[in-house]
Amino acid sequence: MLEELRRMREQAKEELQAVLNLEALESWRLAYLGKNGAVTRALRSIGKLPREERPAAGQLANEIRQELEAAFEARQETLRQEALAADMARGAIDVRLPGRPQSLGYLHLSTQTLREIYAIFAQMGFQVLRSNEVETDTTNFQLLNIPPHHPARDMWSTFYTTEPGVLLRTHTSPGQIHAMRKYHPHPIRVILPGKCYRYEQVTVRSEHMFYQVEGLAVGRNITMADLKGVLTHFARQMFGPERKLRFRPSYFPFTEPSAEADIDCILCQGKGCAMCKYTGWLEILGSGMVHPNVLRNGGYDPDIYSGFAFGMGPERLAILKHGITDIRYFFSGDVRFLHQFA
Ligand code: DAH
């Protein structure tokens, strides 16, 4: 019996060494330590042995049981550690692999152009001031010297809200009133960027939503020469140091005198081409000396103060600069267009 028990112990240990996974380990446990396992059966059979053999056999069988239980636990722990290590190795990050590229966003061409404009005017001490896209008939028109039924309103059809007299601004010019009322009676040098809205047919040259950048300077002894100096510097920074600027007499209700500013054509250098319609000039903005009524509406006495203003469309400038053929590309959401300016 003792011999048999020892053999069983050796065999069990050998088999345990060959166990390579937790399922096989469980089969081994059932075979030796389970209810019908070899060790359990041996312990049960002790009672049937002759009396004198029982103590030695009982002691050995119990020792074997304890030994195999300890061996089982050790093996189980080893296999668990191995399984965990293998798991970690499989799920591990291979740091040598190149990372997945993040798709980076980029600025919309309108935003890029706006920022270029801010930077140029910042050189001349203009700060950026923002005001609402929803305005009233009073600020969008009347305080800018455009009374109800004035024919100039035809140039600025807009979207009205259900609230009487509340509308989407047609230009950034109402910002002039807000700036003057905010800073009165101090001198002002601001640019007013933002979206504007027009109720009109969308074509190659016009959108119902677009950006504008308004400029306003108010102070003592400001003249048209200041306006021309500022705009010339702007044009040269934006379109190249050799640019020429010319004023063409024009009409806006909120300026007197009014002028449209043209630069010599950036494509043909003023010789005449399809881009400038063979005139040699490209219109870039509207401008003028702030009308006395508008100064007064802003709280400035026109006998003491004067000022100049201008308004430009960044999309229009970008169109000229990049030779874009259709303003509708800007807000149609086609990334093939936008990506060219990434
Ligand atoms: N508000 C004008 C427009 O939308 C542009 C403009 C012209 C603005 C002359 C000005 C200005 O400040 O002086 O067509």
Q: How far apart are alpha carbons 185 and 228 in whole angstroms? A: 24
Q: How far apart are alpha carbons 318 and 112 in whole angstroms? A: 9
Whole-angstrom CA distances from 141 to 52, 138, 284 are: 121, 6, 23
Asked whether residue 87 carries a pLDDT value surpassing 90, the answer given is no
Q: How far apart are alpha carbons 215 and 218 in whole angstroms? A: 10
Can you give the residue ranges of every domain in the chain?
2-89, 109-341
Residues 28, 71 contacting (CB under 8 angstroms): no
**How far apart are the CA of 91 and the centre of ligand 1, in A?**
64
| pLDDT tens column, 260-302 | 999 999 999 999 999 899 999 999 999 999 999 999 999 999 9
Q: Which residues of 48-71 are buried (b: 16+ CB within 10 A; e: fewer)?
A: eeeeeeeeebeebbeebbeebeeb
| pLDDT tens column, 145-165 | 999 999 999 889 999 999 999
CA torsion 308-313-318-324 (nearest 10°) is -140
CB under 8 Å to 188, separation ≥6 — which residues? 179, 180, 216, 217, 218, 219, 307
CB under 8 Å to 294, separation ≥6 — which residues? 143, 144, 145, 176, 177, 254, 255
Q: How far apart are alpha carbons 190 and 257 in whole angstroms? A: 20
* AA letter at 324: I
Residues 261, 246 contacting (CB under 8 angstroms): yes
Residue whose Cα lies nearest atom 7 of ligand 1: it is 286
**How far apart are the CA of 287 and the centre of ligand 1, in A?**
6
| Separation of CA 58 from chain center | 79
Q: How far apart are alpha carbons 300 and 255 in whole angstroms? A: 15
pLDDT of res. 176: 98
| pLDDT tens column, 25-46 | 999 999 999 999 988 998 888 8
Q: How far apart are alpha carbons 40 and 258 in whole angstroms? A: 110
pLDDT of res. 316: 95
Coil, strand, or helix at residue 165?
Answer: coil
The CATH classification of domain 109-341, taken from the options 3.40.50.2000, 3.30.930.10, 3.30.457.10, 3.50.50.60: 3.30.930.10
Overall residue count recorded for the chain in this entry: 342
Q: Which of 145, 254, 294 to mutate to test the pocket of ligand 1 (most atoms within 8 A of CB)?
A: 254
Whole-angstrom CA distances from 232 to 25, 222, 263, 283, 294 are: 88, 16, 9, 13, 25
pLDDT of res. 161: 95
What's the longest Cα–Cα distance across the chain? Answer: 134
pLDDT of res. 321: 94
Q: Which atom of ligand 1 is nearest to the CA of 311?
A: 8
Q: How far apart are alpha carbons 283 and 158 in whole angstroms? A: 23
* AA letter at 157: S
Asked whether residue 93 carries a pLDDT value surpassing 80, the answer given is no
Higher pLDDT, 100 or 92: 100
**How far apart are the CA of 262 and the centre of ligand 1, in A?**
14
